[in-house]
Amino acid sequence: MGVSIFMKKLLQKLMKPSRKYPIIALVLVGAVIAVAGVVTMNKTFEVFSTTEFCTSCHTMQQNYEEYKQSVHFSNAKGIRAECVDCHQPKDFAGKVMRKMGAVTDLYHHFITGKIDTPEQFEEHRLELAQKVWDRMADENYKTCTTCHSYDAMDHSKQSVQAMKEMIPAAKENMACVECHKGIAHELPNMAGGFRKTFETLAASAIAPAGATKLYSLEEKSLFATADANGKVEGQLLPASEVDVIGEEGDMLKVRIQGWIETNGKGRVMTEYMGKRVFKATIRGDVKTTETVISEEVDAATNIAWKQVAVNAYITKDGMLESIDPVWDYASEMYSSSCNSCHAAPAPGHFTANGWISSLKAMSAYYRLSKTEERTLLKYLQNHGSDTGGAGAH
């Protein structure tokens, strides 16, 4: 009851005209202050959103020079996209969030000096670019769609190649940066990320004692005896499963199971019957341990196959207890290598055999080692349309 009376008196006090100033004057003063505040805030946003302000720090000069060479800076239509057009949403909430996020940029500029030199900038370019791409995705790419709209595009006025790419992209409502990374700034070294992932995996990929099933991170030499200096009698390919059947010193005795063509030379073992998903090559004394598990004829090709198993020795390094880290690494490699120029198709877009020619066609546009290429192909094949995204075999 007392609180109610207090609130009533407070309201009356606030509503009572001032004895010194007319209430209309107070309202006008309040309105002027409010308008001045809004104008000041907008002017502040305007100044802090200019390209001149964005590039006033020396750490942004490299970005600025790259931007000046891009189509967003100079083009036939004379339309220039300023820094904020790509990096700051147009809505008020988006602007505030972006300015708040920029505090970390100021921290690194003035305190840590994280990108203080061109060399430091290059070292962190991939990390910085990924943050921008992730932020654009979180904002549903609204900074891109402010200027670019599929509905407003006249595909007949585009080049033949652009039309070929843009029509399906429009149907799927694809994000601009799925195909146009590097449109305003140089692309980072995309290999930097997945190669660091590999280094981390390789450092920890040592077969633990007592493991019964392992997966190869990279190629492994196969030996007929527990001697790593002995004759190599085959090769286990990346992302291949083995059963551990014994240990001798620093060597593992493993059983490798797969498929070989009945009428072939029997040296190449595949993951699946009729699919060129290579698992191992076997020869010599390792080949002599071969036992036949079953025999089948591939109905699609009428080729006879047999499922076999061989015993061999391998070293303990480069082996993991789970295939998942290998697939995660390969997925990162695929995203980095094949999404840098265009939107890469989902692994299930092609069959296991179809991925061989598809990846080969793209080989001129990426720079992967033979081992990296084999791992990537194995990942795509094991997640292809006819392997059911098996992945874990």
Q: Which residue segment(s) compose the domain that 35 sits in?
A: 5-48
pLDDT at residue 324 above 60? yes
Q: Is residue 243 very low, low, confident or very high in pLDDT (cuts 50, 70, 90)?
A: very high
Judgement on whether residues 313 and 337 belong to the same structural domain of the protein:
no
Cβ-based neighbours of 103, under 8 Å, separated by 6 or more: none
287: which 2 tokens?
Answer: 């080949």
Asked whether residue 192 is assigned to any structural domain, the reply reads no
342 marked ligand binding residue? yes
Judgement on whether residues 53 and 137 belong to the same structural domain of the protein:
yes
Judgement on whether residues 153 and 133 belong to the same structural domain of the protein:
no
Highest-scoring range by mean pLDDT, 124-133, 167-176, 372-381: 372-381
pLDDT at residue 333 above 70? yes
Look at 86-90, 201-205, 293-297, 351-355 and tell me which has the smallest mean pLDDT. Answer: 86-90
Strands 213-216 and 319-320: antiparallel
Which position has the higher pLDDT, 199 or 31? 199
Q: Rounded CA gap, 94 and 178, in Å?
A: 22
Asked whether residue 378 is assigned to any structural domain, the reply reads yes
Average pLDDT over residues 2-19: 63
- The predicted pLDDT at position 265 comes to 86
Strand partners, 303: 298
Q: Rounded CA gap, 193 and 229, in Å?
A: 34
Give the number of residues written for the chain.
393
Q: Rounded CA gap, 281 and 283, in Å?
A: 7
338 marked ligand binding residue? yes
58 marked ligand binding residue? yes
Judgement on whether residues 210 and 158 belong to the same structural domain of the protein:
no
147 marked ligand binding residue? yes
Judgement on whether residues 284 and 358 belong to the same structural domain of the protein:
no
148 marked ligand binding residue? yes
The owner of tokens 């990096």 is 87
Judgement on whether residues 221 and 290 belong to the same structural domain of the protein:
yes
Which position has the higher pLDDT, 34 or 222? 222
Asked whether residue 130 is assigned to any structural domain, the reply reads yes
| Helix (H) or strand (E) segment spanning residue 291 | strand 291-298
Q: Which pLDDT tens digit goes with each residue over 251-277?
A: 999 999 999 999 988 899 999 999 999
Q: Which pLDDT tens digit goes with each residue over 279-288?
A: 999 999 999 9
Look at 3-17, 24-38, 197-211, 362-376 and tell me which has the smallest mean pLDDT. Answer: 3-17
The total number of structural domains in the chain stands at: 5
72 marked ligand binding residue? no
Question: SS3 of 282, please?
Answer: strand
Judgement on whether residues 27 and 115 belong to the same structural domain of the protein:
no
pLDDT at residue 28 above 80? no
176 marked ligand binding residue? yes
- The predicted pLDDT at position 2 comes to 61
The one-letter amino acid code at 189 reads N
